[in-house]
């Protein structure tokens, strides 16, 4: 399967509720590479690299989020990567 690498933006009450750690755990369990980070806008950014089906699975998981989060929107757009990721990190 070809790999994909979208930039995913998660909106809602997603900072201060361990959302990045949730993303990290789920992405690693799916075997994806990339990173997650908080944005100054209050959103969380996720760059997820891997097989399309696995990335789609992560996006579905992000729509629900962890227990204390409240996700209002998840958007994904393909990007051209400037670097190759070896693992998944929290920034």
Catalytically active residues, by annotation: 20, 38
Q: What's the CA gap between 30 and 11, in Å, rounded?
A: 22
Question: Pairing state of beta strands 44-51 and 3-4?
Answer: antiparallel
């Amino acid at each position: 399967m070809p790999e994909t690498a979208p930039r995913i933006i998660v909106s809602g009450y997603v900072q201060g509720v361990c959302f990045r750690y949730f993303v990290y755990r789920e992405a690693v369990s799916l075997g994806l590479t990339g990173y997650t980070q908080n944005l100054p806008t209050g959103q969380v950014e996720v760059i997820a690299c891997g097989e399309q089906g696995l990335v789609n699975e992560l996006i579905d998981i992000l729509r629900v989020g962890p227990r204390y989060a409240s996700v209002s929107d998840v958007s994904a757009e393909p990007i051209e990567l400037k670097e190759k990721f070896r693992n998944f990190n929290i920034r």
